[in-house]
Structure 1
């Protein structure tokens, strides 16, 4: 295959915007398209190599995989290896568990699947994942595994037919990505079926160049270069991706591949020493930048400054040169590393990281690194009545609810809500029993307890929590229930968490578009209509404001306290932070004159809302109470219910 310096220059144009985008420079708001540029380049180069091998009858899967292993794995292994001690020193248990899972996923060429299941690419938490960027490597690796096999099997039908097969597959993949960003945005971003068309675009370009050669057309080559640059500066996180929007940078690369003859202005620019030099080390630069940024964010008490991120960007280039010079180049030389040697190295490396990652996963992120009492671990439990009283099955059992409190008393209190109501269940059950009162309970995860409101969460669309809301109302109307207690994670439906994440959309019908604005409107109207409906049948509605949400998982807060030397209280969420998150729903409740049963003072001091004690966590996760936390509600409940 003839070397094209402008392709290396194009790699530089791809990697620099990616690095600066991840560093947080708003000017490069569309820098993520650099990954798409890489995809097209990979599709072009790999297909060119395979066509030449097939036409010269020297095609060998073993030889192809050997070349890919030499190109990808040594530098990747080196970066992963360097990440491990820093992860051990600085990562909290949940972070370390996630990191361990990513070691497993990278070893299985499936990190894109892991990160699809775990988070969104633009989430705040994603910025602290050192190996997040390997999702794109996984997409390419999946292409490397399958595409040569397809090409080998299809070649018998003739080159022209193979070309059109690829065109058809690329078209289907593009259409799938158009559907995907509207319906399954995270899967659309990460998974190979909706990314394949970008690689196939490079493959299509390879067939055309193989037939016609690289053409000289200054206008089209500059147009391609301009398309890439335009998308880097014009796109941002709100741009649906991948979608038809990705055609701009993708076709830009294709135009350069087809028309940037070495005599064109675009090719001369991309072939300059600086561009080519950066292009040669672009793979290592891509590998280094995300771990540097992630560990800086993990280690910093505040969000790292742009000056620090710029310095780390330059450091990623320096480290890239070192790993290219001393890792990448030697492993590509067959005279230094034999075929058996590279396969042995690859096998040992993949198995080693796989086992290490699995061990970190099953050991909960090596949580024993921190001085945390065993009793804290045992306190991380929730109500054993969850299967009996809570979950998806309650929606499927008409006219059935869970008994709470005294069995001998009339069931005149009804407790209803989402998963926060399950945390509330042990306390209300105990309190009602002590005052010889009885009640009923039901609830399910992610279900807003408001009439006329539909949860747009995927698992609730099929379960229809709107039906459960109506069933609760009908039961209360027809029976001797005079008090309804609503318990929920209210901000889950209006504001999300402290970073605006963990948001559950609601609406007026199952087909409503998922937007924050509609969710807030639905919440307001649902609250108002629920209060009105129950008031008309003489039922007193009591709302339990949201329990303070912590800033992280309990074990992370305990570990952070141990690591920093701060008290548990100082490591917990600030009272002001909790109140600010609740301000929107608090104002709504006050505007509607809702009767509130507020437990803020139970968990919050003057400045902090405590995670727990040295021996027990009040929380099961960052926002649900454990049994220990629930037990703190019993006495306040007794005081409140005794006066009802």
Structure 2
């Protein structure tokens, strides 16, 4: 196969946006498409090699797998081995347990399945996974297992038949991707069925160029480069992916491969020595960058600075150059390879995979070795959202609302019926709030739904089909009317939903994850979000007595984890932690204004002023934890102690309502 330096340059175009995206550089919010560029290049190169071997009658599946092992495994083993000591030194027990699971998954070429089951690629916590990026390697490895055998078997049918069958597979795969982002977005992102078409797109280039190269065309090749650039700079975590949108960078790569031959300006640009140099080390750079960024975030007490992340991006290239020269190259096939025989390559590969899997199993079985931390730090870390009682949490895993007797808490001779409704904040506080309301003589029905704004006919702009928020709210409000509920208590992260943004406390506590924008399903004209909030609340006030719980102050950082890290890394025994009150005021101001406007208009609306339980106007701080209690389970959910703080305000607000 003729060497094309511009293809190595194209690898640089793929890897640099990925690195800058994971570094958190806002300009490169679509940098994740670099992985798709890699997929197309891989499909092109692998198919070119296979076609040549099959045509010349020298195809050997063992030779193919030997070549892949030499190419992929040495650098992977080296980088993974380097991450293990830092994981032991710096990771919290739960993080090390999850990391250990990822080691096993990497050794089985199935990390895409693991990360699909754990979370989404853009979700909070994903950037703390040192081996998250191996999901794409797993897809390529799964492709390598099936595709060579399939291509060899189909070749007997003739070249045209092979192309048509692969085209059919590609069309089905693209159709699955388009269906998948609407119905199962996490599975669609991580699993091979919605990605195979990208690799096959590269395969079609190999077929097109096998007999003779196409004439170079600068305009077409430049359009390809432009298409990739548009995707990198205009796509973001709200772009459905993979989907028809993915055609933009994929077609861009195809145009460059097909028409960016030597002699074109695009080839001249991509063949420049610095760009080709980055392309040559791109695989190692891809392996190095995510562990560097993840461990920087794990070790830092707050969000690492942009300067540090850029420095680590440069370091990833330096380490990549080292591992390319001293790890990748010595194992490549050739007269100077460190391993001459195929059996030694396979034996060493198996030993390496078994060792990685063994350490992963050891870490998982031992729960991330919690005894590395002091008893005090372990006690703090025991605070976690897993402690939330999900009995009445009708989230996307349950989908439809079905009344549960266990969610109705009654007392003798009750003086009123209350529905406590909201998102996961209600799931966190309901035991304390319900106990307090029962003690005041109210029966209580509890209903919560994760990530759901508890207003009629509303949904997330960026949601999976399983997130049936509007259906849940409509069903539970209908049920409330049927069982005689007279008072509705609403508690939720209204600022996050209506601003759409995650929380940044301005002190290094930055919440990561996809945007949380919501919209009105029935609106023909898009009203301002806070006018919409007011309108929805006014409608609810006509149906129920209404208590509006002020937004619980968000922390921005995971409170128990940050305190435990301070104890472990800094030797601090002070568990107090707080955020700036003015940040809370600014973020919640339009929500509180809407609440007050509804209260002023209706006699049967009250506001529960719970923020004063956390925030002190005199000091200008909102407590996340104090010497006595940790008030949060993570970055926004109250702990039992936090829930106990706000329960009296809710009871008082309910008690002050007029009879209905």
TM-score, structure 1 normalization:
0.84
Query: Counterpart in 1 of 2:508?
Result: none
How far 1:607 moved relative to its partner?
A: 5.0
Query: What is the rounded CA distance, in whole Å, between the counterparts of 1:230 and 1:151 in structure 2?
Result: 32
Alpha-carbon contact 1:453-1:522 (below 8 Å) kept: no
Partner SS, residue 416 of structure 1: strand
Shift of 1:363: 4.9
What's the secondary structure of 1:464's corresponding residue?
helix
**What's the counterpart of residue 531 of structure 1?**
541
| 1:643 to 1:396, Cα distance in 2 relative to 1, 3 A | closer
1:38 aligns with 2:41: no
TM-score, length-normalised on structure 2?
Answer: 0.82
Give me the whole-angstrom Cα distance separating, in 2, the residues matched to 1:544 and 1:348.
Answer: 58
Distance in 1 between the 2:41 and 2:124 partners? 30
- 1:162 deviates by 0.6
1:613, distance to aligned residue in structure 2 (A): 5.9
Q: Which residue is equivalent to 1:11?
A: 11
Number of residue pairs matched? Answer: 629
Verify the 8 A CA contact 2:552 2:610 in the aligned structure 1. Answer: yes
Deviation at 1:41, TM superposition (A): 1.5
Q: Distance in 1 between matches of 2:630 and 2:119?
A: 26
> Cα RMSD between the aligned structures?
3.9
Structure 2 CA distance for partners of 1:566 and 1:522, relative to 1, 3 Å: farther
Tell me if structure 1 keeps the 8 A contact 2:99–2:130.
Answer: yes
Q: Distance in 1 between matches of 2:399 and 2:363?
A: 34
Once the two structures are superposed, what CA deviation does each residue of 1:508-560 show, in whole Å capped at 9, x if it has no partner? 44x999x99887665433212101222xxxxx322222333343445413312
Change (3 A) 1:326 1:500: closer
Secondary structure of 2:419's counterpart equals strand
- Measured in 2, the distance between the counterparts of 1:219 and 1:635 equals 71
Structure 1 pair 601–565 and aligned structure 2 pair: CA distance change class (3 A): farther
**What is aligned with 1:595?**
606
1:354 has 2:360 as partner = no
Asked if 2 retains the 8 angstrom alpha-carbon contact of 1:401 and 1:440, the reply is no
Residue 586 (structure 1) shift: 1.8
Q: Which residue of 1 aligns with 2:507?
A: none
For the residue of structure 2 that corresponds to 1:417, the secondary structure is strand
| Alignment of structure 1 residues 84-103 onto 2, 5 Å | 84-103=84-103
User: Displacement of 1:128 after TM fit?
Assistant: 3.8
For the 8 Å contact 2:530–2:594, the answer to whether it is kept is no
130-139 vs 20-29, which deviates more?
Answer: 20-29
- How far apart are residue 438 of structure 1 and its match? 3.7
Contact 1:414 1:441 in 2 (8 A): yes
Counterpart of 2:65?
65
Q: 1:80 to 1:584 in 2, by over 3 A?
A: farther
Please identify, of 157-166 and 245-254, the stretch whose mean Cα deviation from structure 2 is larger.
Answer: 245-254
Inter-partner Cα distance in structure 2 for 1:457 and 1:468: 21
Distance 1:25-1:550 versus aligned 2 partners, 3 A rule = closer
Among 368, 374, 396, the alignment partner of 1:371 is: 374
Unaligned runs of 5+ in 2: 504-510, 600-604
Distance (whole Å) between structure 2 residues aligned to residue 494 and residue 384 of structure 1: 25
Give per-residue Cα distances to partners, 1:567-589, cap 9 Å, x unaligned.
65554544444444433322221
| Residue 127 (structure 1) shift | 3.8
Instruction: Give the corresponding residue for 1:583.
Output: 589
The corresponding residue for 1:217 is: 216
Give the corresponding residue for 1:623: 636
CA distance in 2, matches of 1:454, 1:27: 28
Q: Is the 8 A contact 2:392 2:448 kept in 1?
A: no
Distance 2:62 2:332 in 1: 15
| Secondary structure at 1:541 match in 2 | strand
Q: Is the 8 A contact 2:416 2:442 kept in 1?
A: yes
- Give 1:596 deviation, angstroms: 2.0
Who is 2:506 aligned against?
A: none
2:165 aligned with 1:154? no
- Bigger shift: residues 614-623 or 282-291: 614-623
- In 1, the alpha carbon distance for the partners of 2:269 and 2:7 equals 11
Separation in structure 1 between the aligned mates of residue 297 and residue 174 of structure 2, nearest angstrom? 35
Query: 1:547–1:240: structure 2 CA closer, same or farther, 3 Å change rule?
Result: closer
Contact 1:408 1:438 in 2 (8 A): no
Go from structure 1 to structure 2 and tell me whether the alpha carbon gap of 1:457 and 1:48 turns closer, same or farther (over 3 Å shift). closer
Q: Deviations over 1:154-177 (max 9, x none)?
A: 223222201111122223333443
Distance between the aligned counterparts of 2:639 and 2:197, measured in 1? 47
* Cα distance in 2, alignment partners of residues 383 and 519 from structure 1: 33
Q: How does 1:215-614 map to 2 (within 5 A)?
A: 215-219=214-218, 222-223=221-222, 226-227=225-226, 230-231=229-230, 234-237=233-236, 240-300=240-300, 304-333=304-333, 335-337=337-339, 338-361=341-364, 363-373=366-376, 376=380, 387=391, 395-397=401-403, 402-404=407-409, 407-418=411-422, 419-432=424-437, 434=439, 437-446=441-450, 448-451=453-456, 453=458, 458-461=465-468, 464-476=472-484, 481=486, 483-491=487-495, 493-495=497-499, 497-498=502-503, 499=511, 501=513, 507-509=519-521, 523-534=533-544, 540-562=545-567, 563-565=569-571, 570-593=576-599, 594-605=605-616, 606-612=619-625
Distance in 2 (alpha carbons) for counterparts of 1:123 and 1:641? 36
Q: Displacement, 1:466?
A: 0.9
1:537 corresponds to which residue? none
Q: Which moved more, 1:250-259 or 1:409-418?
A: 250-259
Deviation of 1:22 after TM superposition, in Å, equals: 3.8
Q: Aligned to 1:396, what secondary structure does the other structure show?
A: coil
State the shift of 1:151 in Å. 1.3
- Indicate how the Cα distance of structure 1 residues 604 and 368 shifts in structure 2: closer, same or farther if over 3 A, else same: farther
Task: Establish whether residue 133 from structure 1 lines up as the match of residue 133 from structure 2.
Answer: yes
CA separation in 2, counterparts of 1:555 and 1:29?
30
User: What displacement does 1:82 show?
Assistant: 1.5
Asked if the contact 1:224/1:253 (under 8 Å) is kept, the reply is: no
- Partners of 1:119 and 1:232 in 2: how far apart? 24
SS in structure 1 at match of 2:483 = helix
Cα contact 2:103–2:356 (8 A) shared by 1: yes
What is the DSSP-based 3-state SS (H/G/I as helix, E as strand, rest coil) of the residue aligned with 2:480?
helix
Q: Deviations over 1:301-357 (max 9, x none)?
A: 665555544433332222112101111112224752232332233223323333433
**Residue 18 of structure 1 contacts residue 35 of structure 1 at CA under 8 Å; is this kept in 2?**
yes
- Match of 1:533, SS state, is coil
Name the CA distance, whole Å, in 2 between partners of 1:322 and 1:257: 28
SS at match of 1:542: strand
Give the equivalent residue in structure 1 for 2:602: none
Residues 1:557 and 1:358: Cα distance change in structure 2 (over 3 Å): farther
